[in-house]
Structure 1
Amino acid sequence: MKKFLSAVLMLVILVTVAGCSNEKAEEKYVAKVNSEQISLTDYEKNLAIFKKQIEATVGADIWTQDAGEGRTYNDLFREQILEKMIEEEVIIQDAESKGLSVSDEEVETQFANFKEQVKNLPDYDQYLKDNNISDDFIKMQLRKDALIKVSKEHFLSENPVEEADALAYYEENESEFKSEEVEASHILIKTVDDNFVSLSEEEIAEARALAEDLLNRARAGEDFSELALTYSEDFASAQNGGDLGYFKRGVMVKDFEDMAFSMEEGQISDLVETQYGFHIIKVTGKRVESSEFESVKDMILSRISEQRYTEYVMALKDSAEIEKNEEAFKTQD
């Protein structure tokens, strides 16, 4: 649940508008970027816009829920919005220094799209009015959002990723593009009852003794599938001689998986103890499927482009003079 909510917060931050105004009125600010203020007013308005959209997705009770490390989702969200506004101000300043701009027509198109996206949100127009968020403010934010997009496109056009770069990445990260699967059978002697309550120490000792006997018999050459059919307490697979078919990593419990993927085809394992009991595993097949370079080339090119742009933005941020007004920030709900 926590991972889902965090993902929702970040998704809204990444795909919706954000920014800070150019108003020069002397008012409280939450941060300065190269002496350019992010006003407390603009910060509060951005919070209001984003909060309404998130509440429409996951409900208004999200803000008091635990986000970990002693923080609520309200705390986490407020911090993320401020960091995003700082980062975007850095990008905007860089874009303007390069003479990049956005047309009025583009802003009007984005504004129409924004209105279409939020028209079905309950009482959204009234919510904007209650938070003093005007159409002009939204358009200003959309202009900055569009300028950030233009800035990214400009950077990528000036710093194209070559196919050779993608091929080098593919070769250096070969395992990432391979899918390993194991085919195995097993015999399970349980150490828990049908309600997953642990058996007594005496019963567990008896289970171990039986499992060790079956292991010795299997290694001595007795038919594994017959032993599984007769003795295995994983009744679903026992009917098929213990056959589990092919499976990838992440499907079985960790100790079982680690053993199965470490074995060679035809090998029979030592006893493997999990929360279910004692397993005897026999690997009956292994296969590795590799994605050809051409099938993943575009994905790699995109990944490298994103990585380079992220590094560029981080470098801009590192070189910027950033001052946070913690007192003003902490006073907000």
Structure 2
Amino acid sequence: MLSLMRKNVRSFLVKAIISIIVLAFIGTIFLVWGVGGERAKEKGRAIATIFGEDVTHLEYATEYRQLYEYYQNQFKDHWSPEMAERMQLKKMALDNVINRRLLTHEAIKQGIVVDEKEVLAKIQSMPIFQQNGRFDSQVYAQVLEYGMHMDPATFEDQIKKSLLIDRLREKVRGGIKVSQAELLDAYTQQNEKVEADYVLFTPATFIPQVTVSDDEVRSYFEKNKQKYQLPRQRKIRYIYVACQQVKNSLTVDEESIKKYYETHETQYQLPKQVRARHILIKTDPAADVAKKEEAKKQAEALLQRIKAGEDFAKLAREFSQDPGSASQGGDLGYFGQGRMTPAFEKAAFALPKGGLSEVVESPFGYHIIKVEDIQEARTKPIEEVREQIKSQLLDEKAWEAAENEAYALVRSFYKAGRLEDVAVKAGYAIGDTEFAEDAKLVPGIGPYEEVVKSAFSLKKDDVSMPIRAGAGFYILRLVEEIPARVPELDKVKDKVVMDLKKEKAEAKAKEVAEELRGRLKSAPADLASVAGSYQLTVSNTGEVSHNGFIKGLGQNEELSKALFSLREGEVTPVIQTSRGYCLAVLKKRIGVDLKKFAEEEPRLREQALRTKEYQMFQTWLERLKKENNIVVDYNQV
């Protein structure tokens, strides 16, 4: 059966469909790692070894790109390279590759089997390979070849491994149970609440009371010299190969433009659109029948005036209650299907040009719609998009040509020995940066992560591989380095004095907090009256759950635990928070509703089972890693 699916049926229609379907699957590995020749050799070395088999940069890069695009689609405009860095996406990608290899090996070792029929059923169930809800072998062949750049045998092997891992997960997770006591404990953690009054002792309040002597400053500096160490600095010389520079000499032939248009024709399809005006008489969704009927009658009266010949736009300006379009005579501009509420859309798209609707009800109220113009669905002809396609293909060729040129310059350097000679011979200018500090942008180049990483890993007089950044590729050479060093005290004295004052102010804040707590413990009193004698303000936490958000303080696990351990009227220990030291007195405790717990128990049990299964599997996986000889070089990612 699988062999039948592998027939490489080529059809224009399927190619057009694929151009849409595979957007989420296409990995732009070549833009990240490069292809061919020296680049393939450079990036082909192993970054991990599992059971004697290597994991290469190419395998890792494929996984990384898929992860990157997944999160990019999830977060959309909020996504950024910095988020990828914070999420440790590179490590996550490498771990995924390693885990997949490890789990596949373990599944086979445990005798788990997946046959061809199961692989076939899984593939046929995937929406990406279906047309009109049914599996299509043409779409399958085309998606693999043109979208995923993968032969069927490789893809089917990946599906088989995926099914093996799923079976292994089920086997490992089997038999897990959750007791009612565990559920009640989890429910209590989420729903039990406390409320307390607290006083905050901020170090900044005590800074004016603190004095420091010269001897104290010198002693503090001697003990904390590393705190004031200046980072190493590097000066970099570079060649920049700009895409635009090589683009000027490139051309794109008509055949390439035509071929691109044919395989991406769906990109140039324009759906049917209408341009309409409307008058809206609003209704409140909660309004009673009488008020809705009154609004409807008002809309019907306006409709009769329009039918009698009055100007639609003028009436819209005067009576429409849509603030976005009333001032424009009710003009909504052009819109396609899916933009308006269903009832409005159905009426608008059913009207001819110049047509007037009856009164249409929507969740917003009652509408009168007039269609001003209709643009039928069409596909932009190649003449209309030729320049757009040409520009896109030129950009792609320019990136490839610039990359090839950059690698050629590196090869020339290893032959000639001087970056300056290579640059002059090839007609490129040499750039010199100012001194740059570790983990910061490289002056004259920019805050490009790979540029900074390379600039601070180069050895003296060596050159980097080409680095894609901005609108081209950089080749770097280390010219000079100033090692990390500790400055003389007089260079940083102001900072040292302030740091010492902050330290003493923090100690003073804690001292006063402990003193106030002692007074409360020895002679129980109202927190407000005791705090007032220190000219401090009492705040309230609001009702907070275990490790929940505390008003004015945020989350603080230590304070939360202390509050839940108290009886009403008792005082917490002095606890450090992000804003200073805190002292709190418990006002009340709010227990859980056991009746509500019983109602929610099925949902809680399902949730707890999933959590416990995941935790158990992760623990088992970590143990499996330790038991096997796996060598990983995270420095390469």
Bin of the TM-score, shorter chain as denominator length: 0.5 to 0.7
2:63 to 50, 55, 58: 50
Question: Given the alignment of the two structures, is residue 201 of structure 1 paired with residue 213 of structure 2, yes or no?
Answer: no
Question: Given the alignment of the two structures, is residue 284 of structure 1 paired with residue 297 of structure 2, yes or no?
Answer: no
- 3-state SS of 1:267 partner: coil
- 3-state SS of 1:245 partner: coil
Compute the displacement of 1:79 (Å). Answer: 5.0
Residue in 1 that maps onto 2:199: 187
Residues 200 and 581 of structure 2 are in contact (CA less than 8 Å); yes or no, is this contact kept in structure 1? yes
Compute the displacement of 1:184 (Å). Answer: 0.4
Query: How far apart are the structure 2 equivalents of 1:175 and 1:51?
Result: 39
Residues 114 and 160 of structure 2 are in contact (CA less than 8 Å); yes or no, is this contact kept in structure 1? no
1:247 to 544, 552, 558: 544
Question: Given the alignment of the two structures, is residue 264 of structure 1 paired with residue 281 of structure 2, yes or no?
Answer: no
Query: How far apart are the structure 1 equivalents of 2:108 and 2:519?
Result: 71
Compute the displacement of 1:185 (Å). Answer: 0.7
Name stretches of at least 5 consecutive residues in structure 2 with no aligned partner: 1-24, 26-44, 73-78, 131-143, 212-503, 550-554
Q: Highest CA radius of gyration, 1 or 2? A: 2
Residue in 2 that maps onto 1:299: 607
Deviates more, 1:258-267 or 1:91-100: 91-100
Residue in 2 that maps onto 1:171: 181
Compute the displacement of 1:271 (Å). Answer: 5.4
> TM-score, normalised to structure 2's length?
0.32
Query: How far apart are the structure 1 equivalents of 2:572 and 2:151?
Result: 69
Query: How far apart are the structure 1 equivalents of 2:517 and 2:105?
Result: 68
Compute the displacement of 1:182 (Å). Answer: 2.1
Query: How far apart are the structure 1 equivalents of 2:68 and 2:84?
Result: 12
Compute the displacement of 1:265 (Å). Answer: 0.5
For 2:204, the aligned partner's letter is V
Task: Please give the residue correspondences for 1:64-79 in structure 2 after superposition, counting only pairs within 5 Å.
Answer: 74=90, 77-78=93-94
Q: Percent identity of the aligned residues?
A: 12
Residues 192 and 276 of structure 1 are in contact (CA less than 8 Å); yes or no, is this contact kept in structure 2? no
| Residue 50 to residue 280, structure 1, CA distance change in 2 (3 Å) | closer
Query: How far apart are the structure 2 equivalents of 1:191 and 1:73?
Result: 38
- 3-state SS of 2:178 partner: helix
Give me the CA root mean square deviation.
Answer: 5.4
| Residue 207 to residue 200, structure 1, CA distance change in 2 (3 Å) | farther
Per-residue CA shift, 1:38-63, capped at 9, x if unaligned? 676xx666434312212323689679
Residue in 1 that maps onto 2:107: 91
Compute the displacement of 1:244 (Å). Answer: 2.2
Query: How far apart are the structure 1 equivalents of 2:512 and 2:175?
Result: 64
Task: Please give the residue correspondences for 1:105-144 in structure 2 after superposition, counting only pairs within 5 Å.
Answer: 105-110=121-126, 112=128, 128-129=148-149, 133-144=150-161
For 1:243, the aligned partner's letter is N
Compute the displacement of 1:299 (Å). Answer: 2.8
Compute the displacement of 1:257 (Å). Answer: 3.8
Query: How far apart are the structure 2 equivalents of 1:310 and 1:174?
Result: 24
Residue in 2 that maps onto 1:148: 165
Query: How far apart are the structure 1 equivalents of 2:581 and 2:617?
Result: 51
Deviates more, 1:280-289 or 1:43-52: 43-52
Query: How far apart are the structure 2 equivalents of 1:243 and 1:285?
Result: 12
For 1:184, the aligned partner's letter is A
Per-residue CA shift, 1:47-104, capped at 9, x if unaligned? 343122123236896799699xxxx864664354124212123214545558796141
| Residue 267 to residue 280, structure 1, CA distance change in 2 (3 Å) | same
Compute the displacement of 1:275 (Å). Answer: 5.9
> TM-score, normalised to structure 1's length?
0.54
Query: How far apart are the structure 2 equivalents of 1:261 and 1:76?
Result: 37
Compute the displacement of 1:183 (Å). Answer: 0.9
- 3-state SS of 2:118 partner: coil
Residues 187 and 228 of structure 1 are in contact (CA less than 8 Å); yes or no, is this contact kept in structure 2? yes
Query: How far apart are the structure 1 equivalents of 2:535 and 2:591?
Result: 29
Residue in 2 that maps onto 1:3: none
For 2:104, the aligned partner's letter is E
Residues 568 and 586 of structure 2 are in contact (CA less than 8 Å); yes or no, is this contact kept in structure 1? yes
- 3-state SS of 2:204 partner: coil
Name stretches of at least 5 consecutive residues in structure 1 with no aligned partner: 1-15, 17-27, 115-123
Compute the displacement of 1:142 (Å). Answer: 2.0
| Residue 182 to residue 45, structure 1, CA distance change in 2 (3 Å) | same
Residues 268 and 283 of structure 1 are in contact (CA less than 8 Å); yes or no, is this contact kept in structure 2? yes
| Residue 281 to residue 212, structure 1, CA distance change in 2 (3 Å) | same
- 3-state SS of 1:166 partner: coil
Compute the displacement of 1:106 (Å). Answer: 2.2
Query: How far apart are the structure 2 equivalents of 1:311 and 1:94?
Result: 18
| Residue 53 to residue 271, structure 1, CA distance change in 2 (3 Å) | closer
| Residue 206 to residue 99, structure 1, CA distance change in 2 (3 Å) | closer
- 3-state SS of 1:187 partner: strand
Deviates more, 1:200-209 or 1:257-266: 200-209
| Residue 263 to residue 232, structure 1, CA distance change in 2 (3 Å) | farther
Residues 91 and 316 of structure 1 are in contact (CA less than 8 Å); yes or no, is this contact kept in structure 2? no
Query: How far apart are the structure 2 equivalents of 1:273 and 1:317?
Result: 39
